[in-house]
């Protein structure tokens, strides 16, 4: 199958044969795509090697089962791992015992001597725990449990002593018992190892000998990119270039040489970006869906938390009487923090009144006149004897004329009163006095009547019902709807047509 860069090159050439000139820019673009893909694959290889190195010690038993040759070579070459002397000598003694039995038989003095040696080594293995330095004490417990189950004894030491005895091997069958040991016990013992200590006090780790070549390669690439950007674009410094390709710095830092191997996993960031930019894998749809889901999730939860917090705060202010005191207090000395020195409520009321009088009322005056005229005409129609009076000669249109004049007079008078109250300082003062008197009287009456506590309780219960019936259901009901709306909105905004 033709690769993507070669397909692009072929497409450009076919277009040039149809009348379009295959430009140098097109060729340079195809070469650039090749280069980006090669570097992306190298970065991906480096990340895979880092993951392999970090997983080697935790998963060495698994690798040893499926790739024994490679696992042994890698451990000896780069991890300072070598067979543990005790367990290696133990298995060598078992091999020697099998060879001796094959040559002289189980009853020979040489075989009996080796059996005694195996009994002693087994007791020492349980007492000294040679698996501890490799952090594999659990494997020793597995070995002990297998021996206990095999021999039916509670003591692991006694189980090993009985297993490596002439009576047991001759009675249970030498071939069957050695098959059990080689299949069930030996593989576990072989997982043990000894790891050398380096001069810095930690374990030997030479993975940096592999990783450093990748660091040098990506370092040279980053320098070349900075040099290219600095030469091609004016006012584009090396620092700007480094900030532009900040993620590549993670590929340059030698974490293994600095003995910070786990930080090398941060290279998943530049690897993901490079793979996406080189079109090896199109990660944009996945990235967009994840980001949209996360934003939708956060939006719903944040909305729920904010609304619940706001309602709880209002309930607390009602319970401690803060809102009641602020709304119903008639004390002019009540402490109030004024940040501007201006009575904002008074200024707002004046502005709104002027806006209503000079801009709103003139616009709605025809509709108000029509409503008043209709009301008065209906009143005339319902008056007793009006229909007969209307039939008199010269009187038929009189009621309508009267209604029209009355409406015009009432409308003009009301508008004049409202406009005069706004323009006339004395009228404005009287209006404000009326509003102030009404507000003060209302506050006094609601405090004198024993309705305040009941009103507070009703408001608190009403807010609690809002939380239970509406706000609490945001996460359960609105999540899918919000995410669906976000998807629809994204699809609409991304539609080129």
pLDDT digits (tens, 9 = 90+) for 14-54: 444 444 444 555 666 677 788 889 999 999 999 999 999 99
List, for residues 385-411, the tens digit of each pLDDT value.
Answer: 555 555 555 555 556 666 677 767 777
Record the tokens describing residue 5, joined without a space.
């860069």
Instruction: DSSP letter for 424, please.
Output: S
Mean pLDDT of 472-482: 54
- Name the percent of the chain lying above pLDDT 70: 61
Burial state string for 201-219 with b = 16 or more CB within 10 A and e = fewer than 16: eeeebebbeebeebbebbb
pLDDT tens sequence across 232-271: 777 777 788 788 888 999 999 999 989 899 999 999 999 9
DSSP 461-482: HHHHHHHHHTGGGIIIIIHHHH
* Structure token pair of residue 43: 């970065």
Distance CA 5, CA 209 (A): 33
- The closest of 61, 62, 54 to 79, measured between CA atoms, is 54
DSSP structure class, residue 79: S
Q: Give the CA distances from residue 124 to residues 127, 150, 198, 351, in Å, rounded to whole numbers and listed in that order.
A: 5, 20, 28, 97
For residue 206, pLDDT beyond 90: yes
Q: Average pLDDT in the 82-106 region?
A: 94
User: Tell me, what's the pLDDT at 71?
Assistant: 93
Residue pair 117/225 in contact by the 8 Å Cβ criterion: no
Residue 77 host element (H or E): helix 68-78
Q: Looking at 3-7, 26-30, 131-135, 322-326, which range is the least confident one?
A: 3-7
Question: Model confidence at 191, in pLDDT bands (50, 70, 90)?
Answer: very high
The mean pLDDT value for 334-359 works out to 61
What's the CA gap between 399 and 392, in Å, rounded?
12
Residue whose C-alpha is closest to residue 74's, from 206, 203, 189, 199: 206
229 falls in which pLDDT band (50, 70, 90)? confident
pLDDT at 427 over 50: yes
In the predicted structure, residue 205 carries a pLDDT above the cut 80: yes
**pLDDT on residue 202:** 86
pLDDT at 1: 43
CA angle centred on 462, ends 456 and 468, rounded to 5°: 140
Whether residue 250 contacts residue 216, with contact meaning beta carbons closer than 8 Å, is answered with no
How does DSSP classify residue 196? P
Determine the 3-state secondary structure of 291 from DSSP: helix
Q: Are 221 and 36 in contact (CB under 8 A)?
A: no
CB contact at 8 A, 146 and 185: yes
Contacts of range 93-96, beta carbons closer than 8 Å, 24 or more positions apart? 93/117, 93/118, 93/121, 94/118, 94/181, 94/186
| Residue 393 DSSP class | T
Burial of 251 (0-12, 13-18, 19+ CB in 10 A): buried
| DSSP code per residue over 249-286 | HHHHS-TTTTT-GGGGGGGHHHHHHHHHHTTSS--HHH
For 166-190, what is each residue's pLDDT tens digit? 999 999 999 999 999 999 999 999 9
Instruction: Identify the pLDDT of residue 330.
Output: 55
Q: How far apart are CA 147 and CA 336, in angstroms?
A: 84
The burial class, CB within 10 Å (0-12 / 13-18 / 19+), for 40 is buried
Q: What is the pLDDT of residue 280?
A: 80
Nearest to 312 by CA among 492, 116, 460, 122: 460
pLDDT band at 6 (very low <50, low <70, confident <90, very high): very low
Contact 300, 475 (CB under 8 A): yes
DSSP 337-381: --SSSS-HHHHHHHHHHHHIIIIIHHHHHHHHHHHHHHHHHHHHH
Q: For tokens 């698996």, what's the residue?
A: 131
Q: Give me 44's structure tokens.
A: 């991906």
Decide: residue 320, CB within 10 A, 0-12 exposed, 13-18 middle, 19+ buried. exposed
d(C-alpha 462, C-alpha 314), whole Å: 12
For CA atoms 200, 206, 211, 217, the dihedral sign is positive
Using DSSP's 3-state secondary structure scheme, residue 5 falls into helix
| In the predicted structure, residue 2 carries a pLDDT above the cut 90 | no
- Going by pLDDT thresholds of 50, 70 and 90, the confidence category of residue 5 is very low
CA distance 212 to 254: 6
* Mean confidence (pLDDT) of the chain: 77
Higher-confidence residue of 307 and 203: namely 203
Which single residue is written with the structure tokens 């005694």? 116
Bridge partners for 81 per DSSP: 195
Counting beta carbons within 10 angstroms of the beta carbon of residue 85, is it exposed (0 to 12), middle (13 to 18) or buried (19 or more)? exposed
Counting Cα atoms < 13 Å in the Cβ hemisphere of 126 gives 19
């Amino acid at each position: 199958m033709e690769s993507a860069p070669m397909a692009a090159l072929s497409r450009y050439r076919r277009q040039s044969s149809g009348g379009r000139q295959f430009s140098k820019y097109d060729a340079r673009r195809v070469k650039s795509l090749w280069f980006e893909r090669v570097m992306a694959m190298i970065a991906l290889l480096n990340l895979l090697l880092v993951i392999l190195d970090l997983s080697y010690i935790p998963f060495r038993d698994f690798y040893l089962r499926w790739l024994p040759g490679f696992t042994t070579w890698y451990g000896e070459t780069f991890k300072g791992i070598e067979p543990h002397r005790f367990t290696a000598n133990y298995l060598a003694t078992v091999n020697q015992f099998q060879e001796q039995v094959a040559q002289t038989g189980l009853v020979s003095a040489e075989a009996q001597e080796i059996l005694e040696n195996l009994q002693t080594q087994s007791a020492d293995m349980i007492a000294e725990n040679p698996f501890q330095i490799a952090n594999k004490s659990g494997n020793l417990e597995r070995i002990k449990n297998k021996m206990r189950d095999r021999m039916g004894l509670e003591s692991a030491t006694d189980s090993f002593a009985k297993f490596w005895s002439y009576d047991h091997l001759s009675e249970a069958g030498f071939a069957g018992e050695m098959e059990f040991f080689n299949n069930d016990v030996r593989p576990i013992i072989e997982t043990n190892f000894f790891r050398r200590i380096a001069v810095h006090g930690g374990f030997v780790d030479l993975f940096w000998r592999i990783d450093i070549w990748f660091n040098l390669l990506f370092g040279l690439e980053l320098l070349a990119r900075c040099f290219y950007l600095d030469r091609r674009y004016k006012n584009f410094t090396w620092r700007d270039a480094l900030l532009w390709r900040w993620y590549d710095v993670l590929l340059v830092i030698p974490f293994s040489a600095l003995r910070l191997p786990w930080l090398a996993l941060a290279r998943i960031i530049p690897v993901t970006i490079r793979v996406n930019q080189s079109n090896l894998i199109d990660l944009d749809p996945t990235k967009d869906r994840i980001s949209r889901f996360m934003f939708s999730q956060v939006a719903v939860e944040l909305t729920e938390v904010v609304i619940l917090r706001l309602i709880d705060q209002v309930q607390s202010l009602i319970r401690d009487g803060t809102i009641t005191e602020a709304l119903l207090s008639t004390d002019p000395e009540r402490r109030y923090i004024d940040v501007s020195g201006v009575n904002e409520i008074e200024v707002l009321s004046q502005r709104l009144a002027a806006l209503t009088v000079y801009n709103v009322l003139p616009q709605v005056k025809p509709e108000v006149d029509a409503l008043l005229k209709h009301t008065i005409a209906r009143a005339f129609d319902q008056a007793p004897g009006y229909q007969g009076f209307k039939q008199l000669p010269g009187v038929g249109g009189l009621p309508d004329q009267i209604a029209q004049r009355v409406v015009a007079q009432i409308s003009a008078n009301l508008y004049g009163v409202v406009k005069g109250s706004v323009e006339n300082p004395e009228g404005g003062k009287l209006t404000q006095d009326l509003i102030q008197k009404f507000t003060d009287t209302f506050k006094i009456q609601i405090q004198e009547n024993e309705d305040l506590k009941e009103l507070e309780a009703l408001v608190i219960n009403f807010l609690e019902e809002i939380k239970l019936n509406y706000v609490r259901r945001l996460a359960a009901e609105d999540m899918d709807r919000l995410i669906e709306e976000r998807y629809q909105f994204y699809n609409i905004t991304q539609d080129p047509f």
